[in-house]
A = this chain, B = another copy of it.
Amino acid sequence: MLDLAGTFVFAVTGALVAVRGRLDLFGTLVLASATGLGGGVIRDMLLGDVPPTGLTAWRFLLACALAGVVAFLWHPAFSRWEGVLLGLDAAGLALFCVNGALVAREAGLDVVPAALLGMITGIGGGIVRDVLANRVPVVLEGGWYAVPALTGAAWTSFADREGWATPLVVAPALLVVFGWRVLAVRRGWTPLPARGVD
Please report A residues at the B interface, Cβ cutoff 8 Å.
18-31, 41, 45-48, 50-52, 55-56, 58, 61, 72-73, 75-76, 104, 107, 109-110, 112-113, 116-117, 120, 123, 127, 131-137, 139-147, 190-194, 196-197
**Which listed residue, B20, B56, B112, B127, touches A58 by the CB 8 Å rule?**
B112
CB pairs A–B below 8 angstroms (25 shown): A21-B136, A22-B194, A23-B141, A24-B142, A24-B143, A25-B191, A25-B192, A26-B144, A27-B139, A28-B142, A29-B146, A30-B140, A45-B45, A45-B46, A45-B50, A46-B52, A46-B55, A47-B50, A51-B113, A56-B109, A56-B113, A75-B197, A132-B136, A133-B140, A134-B134
The chain B residue with its CB closest to the CB of A145 is B26
B29 close to A116 (CB less than 8 A): no
Q: Which residues of B contact A116 (CB under 8 A)?
A: 55, 61
Q: How many copies does the complex hold?
A: 3
